[in-house]
Structure 1
Amino acid sequence: MQFRAKLVSWAEIEKWCRNIGKQVINSGFIPEAIIGLSRGGLVPARMLSDRLWIKDLYAVKTEHWGFTATKDGKAVLKRQGDPNINGKRVLVLDDITDTGESMKLAFDYIKSLSPAEIRTSTMLHITRSSFKPDFYSEEINEEKWAWFIFPWNVYEDLDNLIGRSMVVPSSASDIENILKDDYNISFADVDLPMLLNDLVDSGRLKLEKGKYSK
């Protein structure tokens, strides 16, 4: 097995965002704006803005390339217009702090925009991360680490995993077994054949005589 991967459910996303919302409220910190890190923090940020009744919602884009980050192992900030947060209390949100590089990069950039106060949050915090957020729903130690496949990147991640592991054209059931063996993924609540056919429609996979190939 190369590494463990876990398909994250929407029920888990809702639970984690609810936990963060409660922590923020109980802390006494009252955000005036929320910034989601693009792409992983966009959906959680929208969910938190709804739970916390915050209308000012912005995005800051940080980039990693696939499973190995950028070519030199560093996160990259993509400027797309500065959020209007001067003098405001800001909550920054991402899906996970794994290496911590994306959050640290975003934090330093957001700080340069002169907010009154910044607090950071992630649904999941990996203990090895170099950056520890103020709020998080679950802490994951090294022994329980897995590559978390969130609903908003399920196609990208499965396409990458299939490309790594599928050697010959394979049926849907063969691919399910391959991914279980290599990454310990459970597809109990996921329609894998539907996902595979969507990958075919988007040109990421080929289908011939019931067999999928890259």
Structure 2
Amino acid sequence: MIDRLPHEKGFHVSWDQIHRDSRALAWRLDGKGPGANGSWRAVVGITRGGLVPAMIVSRELDIRVVDTISVKSYNHQAQADAVVTKSPQIDLMGDGEGILVVDDLVDSGKTLELVRRLYPKAHFATVYAKPAGRAQVDTYITEVSQDTWIFFPWDMALQYVQPMRGTD
């Protein structure tokens, strides 16, 4: 077995893939809200990674009320304590009843744990989930191993990559 750095076991997500997976998340959430006909009152995207999936989910489910919560839990690719740097509208949120909170990924679960404490009745949905944080999310699409680093399209640029084995 070859030892690899965390980023070397990468799961590369293209714009097309995040769009398809976010739409799949919307389909899974359709009709599952507590409102009339299973509707949701609003979508709250966790910035920054949750903004793209939140927009796609809100579009697919025709939810016009969209807000954000900004949580900082990474510092130069290392996890740190999660801190809210911007809250959603107080009058919108209440205890979270009828609110769909969306993020791109649940990793350790610390971000969602913090937001869940603030809005305990909200529904938490992510596109991707890792085992350590899976208990903090109510709905997700794809599970990846804890040691996989997900490369999202907004974090990448096209460039040559050496083959895993060999040089040509």
TM-score band (shorter)? Answer: 0.7 to 0.9
Equivalent runs, 1:1-12 vs 2, <5 Å: 1-3=4-6, 4-12=9-17
After TM superposition, the runs of 4+ consecutive aligned structure 1 residues lying more than 4 A away are: none
Q: State the one-letter code of the partner of 2:148.
A: A
Larger Rg: 1
**What TM-score do you get using the length of structure 2 for normalisation?**
0.79
Matches within 5 A, 1:1-214: 1-3=4-6, 4-27=9-32, 29-63=38-72, 64-70=74-80, 74-80=81-87, 82-86=89-93, 89-111=98-120, 117-129=121-133, 131-142=135-146, 145-154=147-156, 173=160, 176-177=161-162, 181=164
Secondary structure class of the residue paired with 2:156: helix
Q: Is the 8 A contact 1:42 1:94 kept in 2?
A: yes
- Please state how far the C-alpha of 1:26 moved relative to its aligned partner: 4.9
Q: Secondary structure at the match of 1:137?
A: strand
Tell me which protein shows more helix as a share of its residues: 1
Deviation at 1:79, TM superposition (A): 2.8
Taking only the aligned residue pairs, the percentage that are identical comes to: 24
* Runs of at least 5 residues in structure 1 that lack an aligned partner in the other structure: 112-116, 159-171, 185-214
Give the whole-Å Cα distance in 1 for the aligned partners of 2:60 and 2:88. Answer: 26
Tell me if the contact between 1:32 and 1:90 (Cα under 8 Å) persists in the aligned partners.
Answer: yes
Aligned-pair CA distance for 1:2: 1.0
CA distance in 1, matches of 2:76, 2:10: 14
Q: Is residue 67–residue 88 contact of structure 2 (8 Å, CA) maintained in 1?
A: no
What amino acid is the match of 1:125? A
- Counterpart CA distance in 1 for 2:53 and 2:145 is 22
Quickly say closer, same or farther: Cα 1:81–1:53, change in 2 above 3 A.
closer
- How many equivalent residue pairs? 153
For the residue of structure 2 that corresponds to 1:85, the secondary structure is helix
CA-atom RMSD in angstroms: 2.4
Unaligned 5+ segments in structure 2 are none
In structure 1, C-alpha distance between the alignment counterparts of 2:16 and 2:83, rounded to whole Å: 31
